[in-house]
C-alpha cells in the first residue's frame, strides 16, 4: 500500500489494525502530558490563604466600619468650621503681601546685578539694603529704575561709578511698583507702605522722556515722594494688568 506511511504493519487482510500498533499507543495514552512551564496549577493552599485573608478582612470591616456612616469617625457634637484667618471661602491672601510677592518675582530683573540678597557687589553694583536711594524719596528711586543711572554716586558712603541700564521699556508701571514695594520692605529695609502703579505712572509722566544716560544731578531731591504714597492699603489696586 503506497499511502500508508507511519504504520510499521499494514492492516491485516480482514481490515483490523495489528496488535503491535495498539501496544505502541498504549503508553502514550496512559502517561500524563508534561505541564508547560509557566502554566503549572496553583497549589490549593494558596486558595485557602486568600479565603482566610478575605474572611478576616471582611469581618473586621463589618465589625468596625459603623455601617460606613459618614459621621462614624467624627467626634460627637463637632461642627466643621473654616480655618482661622479665612473668610470661610477659601484662603484669603493679604493683597499687600501678594503685591510684594509679585515684586519679588519681578526683582529677578535686578538680581543679576544687585544680587538676590540685595547686597550688590562691592565696588561694582551698589547695595539696595539700607541704601538711601531706596529708603528715601520714591520719586528718585522710580526715576533710577525707569532711566537707569550713570555714575559717579555714593551709596552708604561707598563710591560707585557704574552704569545701570534703563528699565522703562522692559517693565510696566505695575511691575516697577511691585518691585519697589518689595525692595523697600525686604531685607530689613522695613518700609511697609507700598508703591502703587499710579505712583509709577506719575513718575513715568514726569521723567519717562529723559533721553541719554541719567546722572545723579538729574535726580529729584532725596525726599521727593510720588503723589498717592499715603493711599490706604485697602485702596490699592492689585488687579493684574490686562
| DSSP H helices in the chain | 19-30, 44-64, 95-106, 108-114, 132-135, 138-147, 173-185, 197-207
Grid coordinates of 74: 467624627
545723579: which residue's cell?
216
Contact 233, 194 (CB under 8 A): yes
- Given the rule CB under 6 A, which of 4-12, 67-75, 120-128, 189-197 is the region that contacts ligand HEC? 120-128
Query: HSE-up of 168 (CA within 13 Å, CB side)?
Result: 23
The yes or no reply on residue 125 touching ligand HEC (CB under 6 A) is yes
The yes or no reply on residue 189 touching ligand HEC (CB under 6 A) is no
Among 144, 177, 195, 201, binds ligand HEC (CB under 6 A): 144
CA 4 from centroid of its chain's CA atoms: 80
Contact 196, 174 (CB under 8 A): no
Cα distance between residue 185 and residue 100, in whole Å: 8
- Given the rule CB under 6 A, which of 1-9, 82-90, 149-157, 192-200 is the region that contacts ligand HEC? 149-157
The yes or no reply on residue 116 touching ligand HEC (CB under 6 A) is no
Grid coordinates of 231: 493711599
Grid coordinates of 114: 544687585
Among 102, 110, 199, 200, binds ligand HEC (CB under 6 A): 110
The yes or no reply on residue 179 touching ligand HEC (CB under 6 A) is yes
The yes or no reply on residue 119 touching ligand HEC (CB under 6 A) is no
Contact 236, 196 (CB under 8 A): yes
Q: Which residues on neighbouring strands pair with residue 183, listed in sequence order?
A: none
Least Å from the CB of residue 233 to ligand HEC: 22
The yes or no reply on residue 131 touching ligand HEC (CB under 6 A) is yes
Among 104, 109, 198, 210, binds ligand HEC (CB under 6 A): 109
Q: How many residues bind ligand HEC (CB under 6 A)?
A: 29
The yes or no reply on residue 146 touching ligand HEC (CB under 6 A) is no
Nearer to ligand HEC, 4 or 163 (CB): 163
Q: Which residues on neighbouring strands pair with residue 213, listed in sequence order?
A: none
Contact 180, 142 (CB under 8 A): yes
Nearer to ligand HEC, 51 or 161 (CB): 161
Nearer to ligand HEC, 92 or 223 (CB): 223
The yes or no reply on residue 222 touching ligand HEC (CB under 6 A) is no
- Residues of this chain that interact with ligand HEC (CB under 6 A) are 109-110, 112-114, 125-128, 131, 133-134, 141, 144-145, 149-151, 153, 155, 160-165, 167, 179, 183
Amino acid at each position: 500500500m503506497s499511502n500508508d506511511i507511519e504504520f510499521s504493519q499494514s492492516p491485516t487482510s480482514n481490515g483490523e489494525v495489528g496488535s503491535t500498533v495498539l501496544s505502541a499507543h498504549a503508553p502514550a495514552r496512559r502517561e500524563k502530558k508534561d505541564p508547560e512551564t509557566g502554566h503549572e496549577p496553583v497549589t490549593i493552599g494558596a486558595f485557602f490563604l486568600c479565603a482566610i485573608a478575605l474572611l478576616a478582612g471582611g469581618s473586621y470591616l463589618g465589625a468596625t466600619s459603623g455601617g460606613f456612616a459618614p459621621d462614624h469617625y467624627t467626634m460627637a457634637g463637632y461642627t466643621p468650621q473654616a480655618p482661622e484667618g479665612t473668610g470661610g471661602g477659601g484662603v484669603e491672601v493679604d493683597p499687600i503681601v501678594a503685591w510684594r510677592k509679585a515684586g519679588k518675582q519681578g526683582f529677578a530683573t535686578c538680581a543679576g546685578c544687585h544680587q538676590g540678597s540685595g547686597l550688590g557687589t562691592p565696588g561694582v553694583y551698589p547695595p539696595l539694603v539700607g541704601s538711601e536711594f531706596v529708603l528715601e524719596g520714591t520719586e528718585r528711586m522710580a526715576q533710577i529704575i525707569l532711566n537707569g543711572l550713570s555714575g559717579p554716586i555714593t551709596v552708604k558712603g561707598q563710591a560707585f561709578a557704574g552704569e545701570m541700564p534703563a528699565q522703562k521699556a522692559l517693565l510696566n508701571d505695575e511691575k516697577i511698583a511691585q518691585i519697589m514695594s518689595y525692595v523697600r520692605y525686604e531685607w530689613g529695609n522695613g518700609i511697609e507702605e507700598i508703591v502703587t502703579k499710579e505712583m509709577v505712572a506719575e513718575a513715568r509722566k514726569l521723567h519717562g522722556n529723559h533721553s541719554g544716560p541719567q546722572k545723579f544731578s538729574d535726580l529729584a531731591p532725596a525726599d521727593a515722594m510720588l503723589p498717592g504714597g499715603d493711599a490706604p492699603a485697602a485702596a490699592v489696586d492689585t488687579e493684574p494688568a490686562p
